[in-house]
Structure 1
Amino acid sequence: MLSVEKAFESIVAAAKPLTTERLPVENTSGRVLAAPISARRSQPGCDLSAMDGYAVKSTDLSGDMVSLKLVGESAAGAPYIGAVKAGEAVRIFTGAAVPDDTDQVVIQENTEARNGLIYTREIAAPHKNIRAKGIDFNDKQCVLDAGTFLTPKTIGLAAAAGHGYLMVHRAPKVAILSTGDELVAPDKKQFQAHETVNSTAPQIMSLLTSASADCSFIGQAKDDLSSLRKHIAAAADADILITIGGASVGDKDLVQKALSAESMHLDFWKVAMRPGKPLISGKINDTIVLGLPGNPVSAFVCALLFARPLVDKLMGRPAPLPAGVPLPLAASMPENGPRQHYVRARLIGTPGQRKLDPAVDQDSSLLSVLAQSDGLIIRPPHCPEAKIGDMVPFLPF
């Protein structure tokens, strides 16, 4: 069996970012820039007023009462055109261009206007209440580097810099295939006692869709080679094929055999971890194959550790092995065996004083325990007993 670290290296570290595509800037959230972008303009493109008030020459202000002749108006998108002489002022609004001959904006609260004149006791303070040209960024300045993870805040910056389209790494196409004669859809009208609701496919699809993968569910294959091969062949154009179930060694666990029949190159199929020991990793042509265990918690943990980082890597995002943050235990834990153990746990206590409360029952079929948990305590192979208050790595989800 491979260690978790070796399995991660084989699956994720060896993967390369996908090809690029050009998308409208508003459609790039969650993507990664494939090339740096430079501003096509300065922001702002000229000096702008930061307040409503009057644009004046600071040399006209002394702190004593002065009167200035009102000669025009500058509004956002409608600048004042003309010269401003000594003793004159221009009515100005927030976001409007500051006239070239002025260098200070006096806020309207500090003025009185009557009969075409404004009166103020403002002191001289050059550049006060003015947003200088290029204060945000300048023309031709690099505003976002290649490898930037695009979010609403960076998308706004890219758009402000004059980019309506961005070159980004392509989102991987992920085909998700469930296997097993016992599976039925969650919306079936009546359930038989021997049936199992397919909860894992929507769970894994949601996990990877939230990472911006382009996921599709390609069906539920029966436990026979013909059905499995037919469904596997339908994923030929996928970047990642994820199978769920049938990855162990039982008589009905035919997934590996079906994948081999479809020319899969097998990298490995067992990892020294729990839950999640039977994990298939391989490749069919350019499609990366991950065969997840059938138990829902096992499948979720494997997807969290390997499938989601793989999506990150293919999209050009950083994809380190999820390692967790140290937090204190609220209950003792026994020494661990030879496999790395991912223990479901809740966060308890007040903010700043959080502790980890491991679930009593760690059976890999218990989705209720998973749903009530806040993450996973990571117990390395052969680690000794952990006592209350000991710091242990915790992987939130």
Structure 2
Amino acid sequence: MNLLPVDEALNRILARVPDVVCERVALSDAAGRVLAEPVVASHNQPPFNASAMDGYAMRAADVAEGTWLEVIGMSQAGAGFAGAVGEGQAVRIFTGAPLPEGADTVIMQEEAERNGDLVRFTTPARLGHSVRPRGYDFAVGDMILERGTRLGAFQLAVAAAANTGTVKVAKRPKVALLATGDELVMPGTPLGPDQIVASNSVGLAASLAPFAETVTDFGIARDSRENLDAVLREIFASEPDVVVTTGGASVGEHDLVQAALVDHGVTLDFWRINMRPGKPLMFGTRGKTLVFGLPGNPVSALVTAEILLKPALRHWLGLEPVEPLRLPLLGPTPPNTARRHFMRARIVMLDGMTGLLPISETDSGHTSSLAAADALIVQPGHDPGQTTGTVVSALPIGLG
């Protein structure tokens, strides 16, 4: 059987991802969510001409060396000066306070000399200086945040400044995880003979959680159809949007997952990809549920999740794909086989140049090298190897 090209595999997965479904949530609950419709300003910010400094507001034309102006009042944030500034007059003003009518400039207090109700200035006035004009940040009708924007701290702050109480966001999928294998034990469990610690679900849960409403870990299914069938019945009864299994994705004597998924109503689309690590990856559907069978080796599982699963979840939420980096190599890469190689690398600065330092380890069970990586160099099939300084493509990894 021919191996499916990575790009074709991703396109086939994305074609099965449903359109974005919207839900409205309070802004206070929207951290990390993705906008399903833009945030548009309904008022001007600031809503009035405002001072950017503590100082004095006046008409710039009235300021001259040695000239005293009469201080006729005070303007504070939340309590502006009610009158107007006329010729030869000034108002004490504080940061964020409304600029009084008639005033056009603010001079900061460090450049003012006060004598009772009089003030003069040690610097010339600059018309409009230290004034934030009405609508300077945003104005009525401005699109503040576009559809598909992920709401981090800064985005939430500007939405709040626009007096946005609720936002429409993309509904997130419910994800179910299942590890398989007789050899696996949960983290923190004493190891018996021939046992290894199950790390895939822990890593995948952390990787997928930013894109999911829930990530439910259904534990470890043993290498028996009876046990595997029981857990799969439980999983599908919970009606997840996405099911992710690890292990048993090949065709060995103990690789039961593919047959079990088919018997539980999953229609397989493909199961072998022209990539390394991660060739034995399954994808299929069960009704509207997307089903991914990832390899059991931890590096293979986590790398295939970065390359194929997380892009599907980003698409589910209306997020744009992650753009590849173009950076120079800080060390050579070896010749590649026929499969596209996603080579572990660190992004570092060396001799004043930011670039990709390849990690030579390629074993699909070597988790410490993946933990040290910031990116995956995308090495085409049959690549002859590249020398230090060559600019190559790489995918940043571990992004939430």
Which runs of no fewer than 5 residues in structure 1 stay unpaired? none
Between the aligned partners of 2:153 and 2:363, the Cα distance in structure 1 is: 40
The aligned length equals 392
Match of 1:222 in 2: 222
Between the aligned partners of 1:294 and 1:323, the Cα distance in structure 2 is: 26
Paired letter, 1:75? Q
Match of 2:42 in 1: 40
Match of 2:339 in 1: 339
CA deviation vs aligned residue, 1:243-300 (integer Å, no higher than 9, x gap): 0111111122111111112111111111122221111100111110000011111111
Paired letter, 2:371? A
Between the aligned partners of 2:135 and 2:100, the Cα distance in structure 1 is: 16
The answer on whether the counterparts of 1:325 and 1:395 sit within 8 Å (CA) in structure 2 is no
Structure-2-length-normalised TM-score: 0.90
Deviation at 1:346? 4.4
Paired letter, 1:311? L
The answer on whether the counterparts of 2:325 and 2:393 sit within 8 Å (CA) in structure 1 is yes
- Name which of 249, 252, 271 aligns with 1:250: 252
Deviation at 1:114? 2.2
Match of 2:218, SS state, is strand
**Percent identity of equivalent pairs:** 38
C-alpha distance 58-366 of structure 1, shift in aligned 2 (>3 A): closer
- Show the 5 A alignment for 1:236-275: 236=236, 237-275=239-277
Between the aligned partners of 1:64 and 1:123, the Cα distance in structure 2 is: 7
Match of 1:288, SS state, is strand
Between the aligned partners of 1:84 and 1:378, the Cα distance in structure 2 is: 65
The answer on whether the counterparts of 1:344 and 1:376 sit within 8 Å (CA) in structure 2 is yes
Match of 2:162 in 1: 161
CA deviation vs aligned residue, 1:83-128 (integer Å, no higher than 9, x gap): 3333322111111111112222232222222232223365453322
- Name which of 19, 26, 29 aligns with 1:27: 29
Match of 1:201 in 2: 201
Match of 1:101, SS state, is coil
- Show the 5 A alignment for 1:1-397: 1-61=3-63, 63-120=64-121, 123-188=124-189, 190-211=190-211, 214-236=214-236, 237-319=239-321, 325-328=326-329, 330-331=331-332, 333-334=334-335, 336-346=336-346, 349-352=350-353, 354-359=355-360, 361-387=361-387, 389-397=389-397
Paired letter, 1:247? A
C-alpha distance 256-129 of structure 1, shift in aligned 2 (>3 A): same
CA deviation vs aligned residue, 1:146-193 (integer Å, no higher than 9, x gap): 2223222222111111102110111221111111122111111x2112
Match of 2:24, SS state, is strand
Deviation at 1:329? 5.9
The answer on whether the counterparts of 2:32 and 2:151 sit within 8 Å (CA) in structure 1 is yes
C-alpha distance 299-80 of structure 1, shift in aligned 2 (>3 A): same
CA deviation vs aligned residue, 1:284-331 (integer Å, no higher than 9, x gap): 1111000001111111111110111111111110126x7553533624
Between the aligned partners of 1:182 and 1:197, the Cα distance in structure 2 is: 8
Deviation at 1:388? 5.2
Deviation at 1:82? 2.2
C-alpha distance 213-304 of structure 1, shift in aligned 2 (>3 A): farther
Of the structure 1 ranges 308-317 and 212-221, higher mean CA displacement relative to structure 2 is found in 212-221
Between the aligned partners of 2:276 and 2:130, the Cα distance in structure 1 is: 62
Deviation at 1:391? 4.5
The answer on whether the counterparts of 1:208 and 1:215 sit within 8 Å (CA) in structure 2 is yes
The answer on whether the counterparts of 2:325 and 2:394 sit within 8 Å (CA) in structure 1 is yes
C-alpha distance 154-385 of structure 1, shift in aligned 2 (>3 A): closer
Of the structure 1 ranges 266-275 and 64-73, higher mean CA displacement relative to structure 2 is found in 64-73
Between the aligned partners of 1:274 and 1:170, the Cα distance in structure 2 is: 33
The answer on whether the counterparts of 1:30 and 1:212 sit within 8 Å (CA) in structure 2 is no
Of the structure 1 ranges 135-144 and 40-49, higher mean CA displacement relative to structure 2 is found in 135-144
Between the aligned partners of 2:385 and 2:353, the Cα distance in structure 1 is: 25
Between the aligned partners of 2:50 and 2:389, the Cα distance in structure 1 is: 57
Paired letter, 1:86? E
Between the aligned partners of 1:317 and 1:201, the Cα distance in structure 2 is: 24
Match of 1:5, SS state, is helix
The answer on whether the counterparts of 2:175 and 2:212 sit within 8 Å (CA) in structure 1 is no
Match of 2:23, SS state, is strand
Deviation at 1:350? 3.8
Between the aligned partners of 2:205 and 2:98, the Cα distance in structure 1 is: 50
Match of 1:289, SS state, is strand
The answer on whether the counterparts of 2:71 and 2:117 sit within 8 Å (CA) in structure 1 is yes
C-alpha distance 44-323 of structure 1, shift in aligned 2 (>3 A): closer
Paired letter, 2:369? V
Paired letter, 2:153? P
Deviation at 1:357? 3.3
C-alpha distance 394-143 of structure 1, shift in aligned 2 (>3 A): closer
